[in-house]
Amino acid sequence: MWSILKSVYFGDRRVSSKIERIPTGIELLDKYLQGGIPKHSWVFIAGEPGTGKSILCLHIANTALSKNICPVVYVTTEQNFQSLVKQAEQFNMHFNGFKDEGALHIVDIFELRSHAYEKKSRAKYPDPLDVSNLVDYLWSLVREEQIREPLIIIDSLSAFWVDKPAMARRITYNMKVRLAKMQPTVIATLQYAVTTGGNFGFGAEHIADGIIQLNFDDIEKTKQIKR
């Protein structure tokens, strides 16, 4: 496992240099990661609310799309995708064009969930916040659009166990097993409350191949607040 905290651990450098990677688009972070996120790995971006987890996901998605590295499937669970698009535009990232070209595929849980509740038969339109239903939907999307080895971004993974935190590890493990044959690279955000301190939360981190942890600077030391 590798992680980004105040230091970086990569294990055997002779091996890691041969791994195909997806750059994050952030020069210093890519330097620490020896080029970016390893392909076909599961990487969790963890941190308190407001630390920039979604913005980092947008940077990675934009880099993969603009450099034509791989197709991107973006699953958003905490805000609709158009809200994310507006955030991205503040950083000169424009996603609507990639969507029109068919390189970017959106799974907007807000849209799917409202659609499910509008229908009389919930059997036909199952709850997308059930992770089994999400996996079924992803497989249908991949087959229909003939997507190969996608970068799947899930922002946030925590939404799938909000009412059953003790099940976080099982839920994440089942998702990883069921998506394995898709050969995806998965980047998912994990949100934990301020009260948990430096702990990641509910056990999902044990499923990850790597963790990037985002923290706030100590305002008392920096004497400033900046994004």
**93 domain-assigned:** yes
CA–CA distance, 174 with 197 (Å, rounded to integer): 27
**111 domain-assigned:** yes
How large a percentage of the chain has pLDDT more than 90?
Answer: 42
Structural domain harbouring 77: 14-191
Please spell the DSSP secondary structure of 151-183, one letter per residue.
EEEEETGGGGGTT-GGGHHHHHHHHHHHHGGG-
**90 domain-assigned:** yes
Q: Which of 185, 204, 156, 175 is nearest to 52 (CA)?
A: 156
**75 domain-assigned:** yes
Q: Which of 41, 44, 40, 37 is nearest to 60 (CA)?
A: 37
pTM confidence score? 0.83
Could you give the number of structural domains in the chain?
A: 1
**207 domain-assigned:** no
Q: Which range is most confident: 7-21, 106-120, 143-157?
A: 143-157
**216 domain-assigned:** no
Looking up residue 99, the CATH number of its domain turns out to be 3.40.50.300
The phi and psi torsions of 78 (rounded to 5 degrees) equal -115, -10
**219 domain-assigned:** no
**227 domain-assigned:** no
pLDDT tens digits along 15-60 = 445 789 999 999 999 999 999 999 999 999 988 888 889 999 999 9
